[in-house]
Every structure is written in structure tokens, then in C-alpha cells.
Amino acid sequence: MGRVNSGLVLGAAALLVSLGGTATAAKTLMTGADIKNGSLTGKDLRNGSVTSADVRNGSLTGRDLRNGSIGRADLSPALRRELGGSTATVGTSGRDGATGATGASGPRGATGATGARGTQGPQGVQGVQGARGPVGIQGPPGAFDPSQVLRVQGPIVSAPAGSEAVGTASCPAASVVLSGGVTAVDVDPEAFRVLTTNPVSTDSWVVRAHNAAGAAKTATFRSVALCAVR
């Protein structure tokens, strides 16, 4: 207990005096004015000697009581019944409410500025080669046009006995060589031999021949080319 007001002091003084005499004598011998503020403390009072009848209504305030000095046991039964149970019960949480409907979508915001171009990433690994597709349908054979094939003979060349000679046949402009050969003009069949016969470009056919040393005559021949008009 902290401070004691004058009403409590007067009641306590009257109780103390009553221990040695009558209540009338106590009122005569001591009053609240005879007690200095703070000179009477709780140690000077016997437990239970001061009751609510000894305290004037409204004379005690919150400043006269120390925090926590009055518990539930200090309350009267009637006040305890009025306040209810000794321990408040915490109620259980209510159930969550149903989820509300989704609100309407807001307007679309403006398109932001284009960001800076990033650096080029490393080249990926080469993928697996795909399967070969099926062979397509063969088209119809083309028609042969003899007028588009030309037979061209080169100039006559001579190969004396024991020597070689080369003859060339050239296709005209806008044509290509397809094949070729040699034409013997006057030769000794026992001594004349063709060594090579082949194209040397896209438009020329060349023949190289040898006339043996024991030939009875000089061999004469010419190269022949088959050319196709482009």
C-alpha cells in the first residue's frame, strides 16, 4: 500500500485507540489532524483491522493503491460474481469467409521502351542429320532430236613412218562435245595405232596416233567430234 488519505488515517487511529479504551475516548484523544502525513504506515495496522466500514466512500483513489496490490481475492464475493469467472476464456477463431469473385481486369498499360540488344550467344552444336527422303518419281524420258546433234570432223593430219600425230575436232559455238573418235583417211593397217582419243575441253575432241617405223606409207587421219546444240 502506498499513500493513505486522511479518511483512512482517521479510521485506523480510531481502531488503535479502541484497543486501549472505548471508541468515544479514541475520538476525544486523537483525530486526523493529530497524525502527520506519512507517519502511519501499513506496518502500524493489524491485518484485517481496517474494513470498508472504516473507509469513507470515495476517499481512496488509484493513486492511494500500489500497482498489483489488489487481486481478485481482495474483492468482495458480490463483486467477484458481478465480474464473472476468474479467468477470461478466449473464443475460437471464426471460419474463413468464402473467396470473393475476381475483379474485372484493369486497362492494359502502355508498351515499355525496347530494351538494349543483348550480346549474341555462342553457336549451338550441329544437329543430327535427318533421314534421307524417298526417291522422287522418275520423269518421262526426253525425246531425241537428231537435228540437235552435229558431227564435226577435224582437219587431216599426217604421221610419217616411225612418228606420232595429233588431230583435233572443235564443236561450233553454242554447242558442247558429247563424244568423238577417229577416221582413217589412208593408213597401213599393220603399222597404224590409235594411242588416245578423248575430249580436252567442253567443245573439243583430240586423237593421238602412232605410225610404226616399218610402215609402208605415211598415215593420214582426222579427229571426229559429236556435238550437241545447247
Alpha carbons 73 and 70: distance in angstroms, whole number? 8
Alpha carbons 228 and 163: distance in angstroms, whole number? 33
10 Å CB burial of residue 174 (0-12, 13-18, 19+) is: exposed
For residue range 70-124, what is the model confidence (pLDDT) as tens digits? Answer: 666 666 676 667 666 554 555 677 888 889 899 999 999 899 899 898 899 898 9
| Model confidence, pTM | 0.39
Q: Is the pLDDT of residue 174 over 60?
A: yes
Q: Pull the grid cell for residue 170.
A: 572443235
Instruction: Name the more confident of 37 and 218.
Output: 218
Determine the pLDDT at residue 17.
Answer: 46
For residue range 113-154, what is the model confidence (pLDDT) as tens digits? Answer: 998 988 998 989 989 999 999 999 988 887 778 889 999 999
Cα torsion 24, 29, 33, 34 to 10°: value is -150
| Assigned CATH for 147-229 | 2.60.40
Q: Which of 26, 39, 43, 33 is nearest to 7 (CA)?
A: 33
Beta strands in the chain (DSSP E): 149-153, 157-159, 163-170, 175-186, 192-201, 204-211, 219-229
Q: Where are the domains of the chain?
A: 6-83, 147-229
Determine the pLDDT at residue 155.
Answer: 98
What is the 8-class DSSP label of residue 86? S
Query: For the chain, how many helices (H) and strands (E)?
Result: 3, 7
Q: Which of 223, 185, 229 is nearest to 204 (CA)?
A: 223
10 Å CB burial of residue 27 (0-12, 13-18, 19+) is: middle
Alpha carbons 15 and 50: distance in angstroms, whole number? 8
Instruction: Name the more confident of 13 and 100.
Output: 100
Instruction: Name the more confident of 53 and 123.
Output: 123
Are 26 and 18 a contacting pair, CB within 8 Å? yes
Strands 219-229 and 175-186: antiparallel
Q: What percent of the chain is predicted at pLDDT more than 70?
A: 66
Output the average pLDDT for the chain: 80
DSSP string, 16-29: HHHTTS-HHHHHHH
Phi/psi for 196 (5° steps) reads -140, 150
Q: CA-based Rg of the chain, rounded to a whole angstrom?
A: 70
Q: Is the pLDDT of residue 158 over 90?
A: yes
Task: Return the residue matching grid coordinates 502506498.
Answer: 2
